[in-house]
Chains A and B, each alone.
Chain A
Amino acid sequence: MAGSGTAQLRGGDDMMLKVEHLVVEFGKGQRRVQAVSDVSFDVAPGETLGLVGESGCGKSTTGRAAALVHPPDSGSVQFAGTELTTLSARDLRQARTKVQMVFQDPISSLNPRRRVLDSVMEPMAIWGIGTSDERRAKARQTLESVGINPNDAGGRRPIEFSGGQCQRISIARALMLEPSLLICDEPVSALDVSVQAQILNLLDDLKRARGLTMVFIAHDLAVVKNVSDRVAVMYLGKLCEVSPPDNLYRHPAHPYTAALLASIPEPDPSAAGHASSPLSGELPSPTNPPSGCRFRTRCPYAQDRCAEEEPQMRALGPDHFVACHFPLARPTDTPQSTGTASPLASTAS
């Protein structure tokens, strides 16, 4: 997969978040791993970008790097027109109050020894905003907006709450500084399905009520489809495909997206076409990624060209971008195993 390139970026300076050529590396020498390798995306104000991929594909690292929680090794992160990577530590802290994160494990992301109300008030206390009474009032109000009764809950500790409630509290804490961008890293993957729906609805309500912009990271494609306005599919540190969800899920152009979709078991016995696993093997080691297209080792349509040349992100249609030499045509046809593949290939690069 893919590939690099910036075709998926929408021009204009009015993007809430614009990430270009983001690279994050871990380790040293031989064991150096590019967890995120030249990823570019942008998020318009009020939009939710879904970032989806298998574990180890770098989606969480991308989210953390976009919030400068883990500083990227290279690349640019522009938040509301400000370049974050070159800011001084002090300015970065100030700028980041408007970028907040919600993490995967709701229980361990709250301090177990602190009372819920104190945890929620802390962001304001750190910045010395308001008096203690004002902070308390704001925290109570925010807790109420996420469906937690502050009268009964405020004085309790996280262990007294269920996972779903802890996630609501974490969301309240993230909202205390009135952020404009919320980065949610697998916020529902630790929750039961019945509670998952509550949290997804809550995030959707909050987004609408507060005009939030969100980056929603998850491995569950159905969840991502439900919350996103635009979806970016990642594989082994690169982006494969970017598109609004309804289009992406109906007409996946990247073989990896198609394979991911085909792997999902639909809770409907009459659903056709979910019979067998379309992908064999596992994610290759990122220490030694395949040459050319990173997906080629598992791709049913891989050709010689895929090993030699890294595909660049390019437009397939309005707001549909793919990094593949031989994207699937719509409606999905079967490219031949040799020679030129899908008809779209001739229009390629």
Chain B
Amino acid sequence: MILGRRRTPHLVFPDASQLEEPLLDVQDLRTAFHSSRGLVRANDGISFTLNRGKTLGIVGESGSGKTVLTRSIMGLLPNINLERSGSVRFAGHELMNLTPTQLRHVWGTQMAVIFQDPMTALNPVVRVDRQLTESLRIRLGLDRKAAHDTAVTLLSSVGIPAPEQRMRNYPHELSGGMRQRVMIAIALACGPKLVLADEPTTGLDVTLQAQILDLLAALQRERSMGMILVTHDLGVVANRADDIAVMYAGRIVEQAPTKDLFSYTRMPYTEALLRSIPRLTEPSHTRLRAIPGRPPDLAALPPGCPFAPRCPYAQDRCRAEDPPARTAGAGHIFRCWYPVGSPEGEDALARNVAAGVPAALAFTGAVPVGVAAPVAPVAPPASTAESTDAGEEA
């Protein structure tokens, strides 16, 4: 981007408050990468909508495709070995067809991303000052003075004391929490209508995490932004998201309003995830209900439901047929043949327990996972660095 050169925007975005349709409407988004191991399906048919001022929490373990999803929505993925299809409509515009030049009018001013790692996402040899004012000058066309003043205001709005002095600092002179605040300030600089926060608090201490999440919530209310909060920690989204989508193996396996997801869980994976987390409310030495095994390799997904090999409810059908998205109440979708809390599900679990299926026994607490059955790596190792994914855990 050449500094100082102004273009009239190619795209006109309506004021978000006058928007008739959802702020963001993602339909059947598929993102896949060609790799030496074959096609890695990182997002496999993702659909959701997000309204203005609302928060969608996206929860998943590492390798579930949640980070790729944020990049794919933004159109930030390098177009090398990439296969991307589906529809991403943002404020009435289809983003999938935009050229890189047009996308630049979307980034920053319409939607912005807060990256996971503030240590590496900031440029280490550029002062906070320039990293913050760059987008203000280019996107909003502010002059040096106005951009500087806006930046100082931004820094103080994200809770940085003595913002004038901080402007002169390099990233390494700031603590982790301060750097994450600077990241947030950069993302919000041009007043985006949608913020994608990709693990904004991973790596921060709990006390800082609470501060940063509170800050994001306050700024979101103030600006009535839409927000996608990506995290591996169900605790982070439990009190902060309006809806939660749980991702597994590149797809959304359950999505529901936050309360419903926790109270009327349908997907066995969501249930297993919730049970495997140590709780403060439980007495010490409570046995954890571990999920046996580990997430599947996205380049070699099993047939049928990808969670079936680890699922306490899995039946033959699950290993053969991929379950379609089903609904359970308003805004609650899940993908399972034998959902939690249904008669079929109860039967399936009882059958598995009777048959001694390890996943079912571990789930009901009958046999400790870990010492029970030693299992070796199954998949042969690949030759690349990604081969850590090749093992299969007991």
Contact = CB atoms under 8 A, between A and B. Distances in A.
Interface of A: 54-55, 107, 143-153, 156, 159-165, 168, 192-202, 204-206, 209, 219-223, 225-229, 244-246, 249, 259-271, 274-280, 282-283
A240 B157 CA distance: 33
A164 B286 CA distance: 21
A76 to B, nearest CB: 29
Interface string B192-232: 00000000000001111111011000000000000000001
Interface of B: 61-62, 175, 177-178, 205-211, 213-214, 232-236, 238-239, 258-259, 262, 272-274, 276-292, 294-295, 368-377, 381, 385, 387-391, 393-394
Contact of B278 (A192, A226, A244): A226
B290 A271 contact: no
A201 B367 CA distance: 11
B374 A162 contact: no
A148 B238 contact: no
A268 B238 contact: yes
A162 B389 contact: yes
A193 B273 contact: yes
Contact of B290 (A161, A163, A197, A268): A197
Contacts of B391: 160-162, 165
9 contacts: A162-B391, A192-B61, A193-B273, A197-B288, A200-B278, A221-B206, A249-B280, A277-B207, A282-B177
Nearest to A204: B285
A225 B284 contact: yes
B294 A164 contact: yes
B276 A265 contact: no
Contacts of A153: 376-377
Given A165-B391, A225-B284, A270-B262, 12 more contacts: A149-B374, A152-B376, A153-B376, A193-B233, A198-B369, A198-B394, A245-B284, A266-B279, A267-B279, A270-B259, A277-B214, A282-B208
Contact of B388 (A145, A163, A283): A163
B92 to A, nearest CB: 32
B278 A148 contact: no
Contacts of A219: 205-206
Contacts of B259: 269-270
B286 A226 contact: yes
Given A149-B375, A225-B278, A226-B286, A263 B294 contact: no
B370 A160 contact: no
A197 B287 CA distance: 9
Nearest to B283: A246
Nearest to A190: B62
Contacts of A246: 283-284
A205 B368 contact: yes
B254 to A, nearest CB: 14
Contacts of A156: 377, 381
A168 B381 CA distance: 18
